């Protein structure tokens, strides 16, 4: 493991009980993600992408194996340590319903910094800066319900990136968007990746995401089924 | 962060406006009914005490020791002149009247009935009893010593009416029998069998001479500056008159059944409160669990982005707090409104007798405004505490499971 490694997993296995029957969703994955990558995990439904993402972000615990994130062994952390670690090191973008509906755009974006105890002035400054980058500076006071799906996802991107985490996890970020909006969102994320050097890891079925990813990782039947870098 | 959680919780409570209003109404109605029940019970208690003391008993009485237990007519108040002089000089006694009480039989032309003959002082009794007001046929004592007032039920039993001759026979103090002839001049209606069927009221002067007890009496009924003085047997007034072999007692001791009734009222209030507060707790817990399950995904996202379980639990408890605030606002306004209206109109139960106390007029709920805060504060405290269990549940949610639809 080197300083450039953001995620390292060693022989991750995750077994679920489904109606009393054990189901092995992840079957021994060794995986490394290095700093600045813009990588998409692809694979058919039920291949284990979601379970793998849950495990490497500490949202779920592996049945066996190790997960190292930014040099820390995730699998040995307590509940509060995991919460704090996610807060400080991981930005999340989910496929839908990302935002807290009762908070305004600005409040949604600053939420993680609020958890971190960032002073109000600094929060406001950073929020307005990132909202400017995603083109939503004029929408700071709006509730998510008054934004389009694409705008909501841009707010989610802003929230995921505002505290400059070492890793941004985006799970099917374009699942509920049309192709034009999806393309624009991915272009924006890629330029932010290039601008900030932040690491992005996607889970997707979407060709638009695959085309813009710098590297693709294939998961099939709970195992890595190859990976490769893409020029462009 | 806590301030933001407070704001977050407040907005979350209003996310499902209809459910919040329905829950607030349900809890508020419980609170309003508690406030109203206490006011009603307080009104009933006041009415009971008032009826007990105003109708006949007074706020307290003085007897010779042993008289109340035996009813022996020889047990008249000792040193009556000294007692009366003390009462005249006592600033805490606003009025008093003397009575002679003796078992007697009443004989009309048709029937004979055993009763208690009560010699009352027509000049002072109206300040202590409702006898004058209870006379609904005929008139109160006119000054003629042969005047007799009987209850309407006794009049029926004797088949007697106004102007009829009644012969009263009673034992004299020196063991002889005395009989006197009276004319029914008034028929009264108290609402209680004690007075309406088993009592006959005559002038104290004639009762005294008939029984050989001139200048003596068995009972002094007192009206005090504060009715509550009759509740506390430890007050000096009662020991002051418990002298010369006499015994002075307040209404709480004299009418112990009223005290028992009041205890029962308090007990039933407590049981009602426990049931209603139990319902409040279940209502809030149910509402919060519905909210938690509805917002499972939102809680999952909150946990995913780094919200600690304790912060999540705190937010749910804060939501319970805000639900409580909404509920107590609704309940307090509703409760005050109901109490205010019913205290003006009164609640008429008809003429009923409970433990010898007559409810012959409408009961007016009474609110002790200094206690008004107790139920709302208790409701708020309970609703907030009720949020702990759903809060812990939310805090323990597995983020991945909560968001399974997405991830």
Q: What is the ipTM of this complex?
A: 0.88
DSSP for residue B212: T
Task: Tell which wins on pLDDT, A131 or B144.
Answer: A131
User: Which tokens sit at B209?
Assistant: 């001479």
* List of chain B residues whose C-beta atoms are within 8 Å of the C-beta of residue A143: none
Q: Per the CB < 8 Å rule, is A102 touching B15?
A: yes
Taking the CA atoms of B28, B33, B36 and B37 in sequence, report the sign of the dihedral they define.
negative
Residue B242 has pLDDT above 90, yes or no: yes
Q: Closest CB to B399: pick one of A50, A59, A97.
A: A59
What local confidence, expressed as pLDDT, does residue B243 receive?
94
The 3-class SS string of A59-73 reads CCCCCEEEEEECCEE
Cα(B287)–Cα(B318) distance, rounded to whole angstroms?
Answer: 14
Q: Give the range with max mean pLDDT: A17-21, A121-125, B259-263.
A: A121-125
Beta-bridged to residue A29, according to DSSP, are: A12
**CA–CA min distance B400, chain A (Å):** 5
* List of chain A residues whose C-beta atoms are within 8 Å of the C-beta of residue B8: 100, 102-103
Neighbours of A23 (CB within 10 A): 12
Q: At B357, is the pLDDT very low, low, confident or very high (cuts 50, 70, 90)? A: low
Cα(B324)–Cα(B315) distance, rounded to whole angstroms?
Answer: 14
Three-state DSSP at B222 gives strand
> How many A-B residue pairs are in contact by the CB < 8 A criterion?
80
What is chain B's mean pLDDT, rounded?
Answer: 88
Q: At B405, is the pLDDT very low, low, confident or very high (cuts 50, 70, 90)? A: very low
The least confident of B42-51, B70-79, B176-185 is B42-51
A97 touches chain B (CB under 8 A): yes
Cα(B44)–Cα(B39) distance, rounded to whole angstroms?
Answer: 9
Chain B residue closest in CA terms to A119 = B1
What local confidence, expressed as pLDDT, does residue B125 receive?
94
Place of tokens 């307090």: B332
pLDDT tens for residues A162-188? 888 889 999 888 887 788 888 888 888
CA distances from B313 to B110, B114, B317, B323, B387 (A): 83, 74, 6, 15, 8
- The burial of B274, by beta-carbon neighbours within 10 Å (0-12 exposed, 13-18 middle, 19 or more buried), is given as exposed
A103 touches chain B (CB under 8 A): yes
Neighbours of A187 (CB within 10 A): 12
A117 touches chain B (CB under 8 A): yes
What local confidence, expressed as pLDDT, does residue A181 receive?
81
What local confidence, expressed as pLDDT, does residue B155 receive?
94
What local confidence, expressed as pLDDT, does residue A98 receive?
78
Nearest to B128 by CA among B75, B87, B71: B87
**CA–CA min distance A113, chain B (Å):** 10
pLDDT tens for residues B293-348? 888 888 889 999 899 999 999 999 999 999 999 999 999 999 999 999 998 888 88
User: Which tokens sit at A178?
Assistant: 């049309």
What local confidence, expressed as pLDDT, does residue B341 receive?
93
Domain residue limits, chain A: 5-226
- Selected for mutation to probe chain B from A51, A80, A101, A115 (highest B CB count within 10 Å) is A115
Q: What phi and psi values does residue B346 have, to the nearest 5 degrees? A: 75, 160
Question: Residues, chain B, total?
Answer: 407
pLDDT tens for residues A74-102? 888 888 888 999 999 999 988 776 799 99
Chain A residue closest in CA terms to B11 = A102
Contact indicator for A9, A30 with CB cutoff of 8 Å: yes
What local confidence, expressed as pLDDT, does residue B406 receive?
38
Nearest to B219 by CA among B231, B229, B209, B204: B204
What local confidence, expressed as pLDDT, does residue A208 receive?
87
What is the fold, at CATH topology level, of the domain defined by A5-226? Answer: Rossmann fold (3.40.50)
Q: Closest CB to B301: pick one of A80, A84, A94.
A: A94
pLDDT tens for residues A42-79? 988 888 888 899 899 988 889 999 999 888 898 888 88
What local confidence, expressed as pLDDT, does residue B290 receive?
86
Residue A229 has pLDDT above 80, yes or no: no
Cα(B280)–Cα(B258) distance, rounded to whole angstroms?
Answer: 32
User: Which tokens sit at B266?
Assistant: 């308090």
* List of chain B residues whose C-beta atoms are within 8 Å of the C-beta of residue A83: 303, 306-309
Beta strands in B225-340, from DSSP E residues, in sequence order: 246-250
Beta-bridged to residue A66, according to DSSP, are: A10
| DSSP per-residue codes, chain A | --TTEEEEEEEEEEEEEETTEEEEEEEEEEEEEETT-EEEEE--TTSSHHHHHHHHTTSS--SEEEEEETTEEGGG--HHHHHHHHHHHEEEE-SS--S-TTS-HHHHHHHHHHHHT--HHHHHHHHHHHHHHTT-GGGTTS-GGGS-HHHHHHHHHHHHHTT--SEEEEESTTTTS-HHHHHHHHHHHHHHHHHH--EEEEEE--HHHHHH-SEEEEEETTEEEEEEE---
Nearest to B168 by CA among B156, B189, B154: B154
What local confidence, expressed as pLDDT, does residue A230 receive?
62
Q: Per the CB < 8 Å rule, is A59 touching B297?
A: no
Q: Per the CB < 8 Å rule, is B301 touching A101?
A: no
| DSSP per-residue codes, B47-72 | HHHHHHIIIII-SEEEEETTHHHH--
User: Which tokens sit at B30?
Assistant: 């419980």
- Selected for mutation to probe chain B from A46, A100, A114, A169 (highest B CB count within 10 Å) is A100
* List of chain B residues whose C-beta atoms are within 8 Å of the C-beta of residue A111: 305
A204 touches chain B (CB under 8 A): no
**CA–CA min distance A180, chain B (Å):** 22
CA distances from A199 to A39, A83, A161, A192, B400 (A): 8, 20, 10, 10, 22
Task: Tell which wins on pLDDT, A4 or A101.
Answer: A101
Residue A119 has pLDDT above 90, yes or no: yes
What lies within 8 Å, CB to CB, of B312 at 6+ separation is: B299, B302, B303, B391, B394, B395, B397
Domain residue limits, chain B: 2-52+259-402, 58-254
CA distances from B390 to B87, B189, B290, B315 (A): 65, 60, 10, 10
Q: Give A 45-74 residues with CB within 8 A of chain B.
A: 50, 53-54, 57, 59-60
pLDDT tens for residues B51-103? 888 888 999 999 999 999 998 989 999 999 999 999 999 999 999 999 999 99
Report if pTM > 0.90. Answer: no
A96 touches chain B (CB under 8 A): yes
Contact indicator for A171, A3 with CB cutoff of 8 Å: no
Q: At B407, is the pLDDT very low, low, confident or very high (cuts 50, 70, 90)? A: very low
């Amino acid at each position: 493991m080197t300083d450039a490694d953001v995620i390292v997993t060693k022989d991750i296995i995750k077994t679920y009980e489904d109606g009393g029957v054990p189901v092995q969703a992840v079957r021994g994955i060794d995986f490394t993600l290095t700093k600045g990558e813009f990588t998409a995990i692809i694979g058919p439904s039920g291949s284990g992408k979601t379970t793998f993402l849950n495990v490497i972000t500490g949202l779920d615990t592996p049945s066996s194996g190790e997960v190292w994130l930014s040099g820390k062994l995730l699998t040995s952390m307590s509940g509060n340590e995991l919460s704090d670690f996610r807060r400080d090191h991981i930005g999340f973008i989910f496929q839908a319903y990302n935002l807290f509906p009762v908070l305004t755009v600005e409040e949604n974006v600053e939420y993680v910094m609020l958890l971190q105890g960032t002073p109000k002035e600094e929060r406001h400054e950073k929020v307005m800066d990132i909202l400017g980058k995603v083109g939503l500076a004029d929408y700071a006071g709006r509730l998510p319900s008054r934004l389009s799906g694409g705008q909501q996802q841009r707010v989610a991107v802003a929230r995921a990136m505002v505290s400059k985490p070492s890793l941004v996890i985006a799970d099917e970020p374009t699942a509920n968007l049309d192709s034009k909006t999806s393309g624009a969102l991915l272009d924006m994320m890629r330029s932010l990746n290039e601008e900030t050097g932040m690491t992005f890891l996607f889970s997707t079925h979407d060709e638009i995401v695959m085309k813009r990813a710098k590297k693709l990782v294939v998961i099939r039947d709970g195992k890595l089924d190859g990976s490769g870098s893409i020029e462009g | 962060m806590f301030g933001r959680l407070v704001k977050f919780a407040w907005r979350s409570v209003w996310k499902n406006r209809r459910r919040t209003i329905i829950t607030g109404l349900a809890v508020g109605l419980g609170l309003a009914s508690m406030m109203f029940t206490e006011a009603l019970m307080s009104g009933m208690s006041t009415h009971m005490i008032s009826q007990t003391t105003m109708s006949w008993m007074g706020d307290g009485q003085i007897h010779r020791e042993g008289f109340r237990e035996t009813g022996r007519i020889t047990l008249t108040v000792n040193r009556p002149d000294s007692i009366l002089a003390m009462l005249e000089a006592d600033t805490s006694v606003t009025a008093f009247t003397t009575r002679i009480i003796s078992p007697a039989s009443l004989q009309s032309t048709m029937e004979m009935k055993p009763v208690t003959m009560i010699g009352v002082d027509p000049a002072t009794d109206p300040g202590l009893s409702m006898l004058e007001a209870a006379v609904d046929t005929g008139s109160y004592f006119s000054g003629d010593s042969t005047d007799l007032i009987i209850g309407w039920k006794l009049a029926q039993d004797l088949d007697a009416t106004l102007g009829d001759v009644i012969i009263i026979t009673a034992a004299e103090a020196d063991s002889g029998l005395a009989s006197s002839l009276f004319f029914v001049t008034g028929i009264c209606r108290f609402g209680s069998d004690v007075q309406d069927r088993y009592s006959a009221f005559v002038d104290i002067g004639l009762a005294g001479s008939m029984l050989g007890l001139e200048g003596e009496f068995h009972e002094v009924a007192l009206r005090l500056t504060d009715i509550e003085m009759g509740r506390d047997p430890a007050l000096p007034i009662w020991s002051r008159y418990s002298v010369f072999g006499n015994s002075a007692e307040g209404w709480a001791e004299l009418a112990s059944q009223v005290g028992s009734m009041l205890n029962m009222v308090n007990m039933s209030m407590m049981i009602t409160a426990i049931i209603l507060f139990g319902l409040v707790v279940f209502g809030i817990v149910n509402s919060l669990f519905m909210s938690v399950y509805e917002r499972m995904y939102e809680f999952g996202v909150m946990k995913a982005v780094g919200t600690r379980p304790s912060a999540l639990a705190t937010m749910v408890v804060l939501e319970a707090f805000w639900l409580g605030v909404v509920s107590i606002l609704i309940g307090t306004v509703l409760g005050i409104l109901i109490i205010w209206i019913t205290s003006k109109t009164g609640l008429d139960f008809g003429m009923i007798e409970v433990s010898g106390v007559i409810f012959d007029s409408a009961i007016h709920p009474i609110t002790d405004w200094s206690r008004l805060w107790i139920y709302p504060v208790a409701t708020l405290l309970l609703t907030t505490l009720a949020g702990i269990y759903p809060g812990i549940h939310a805090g323990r949610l597995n983020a991945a499971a909560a968001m399974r639809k997405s991830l």
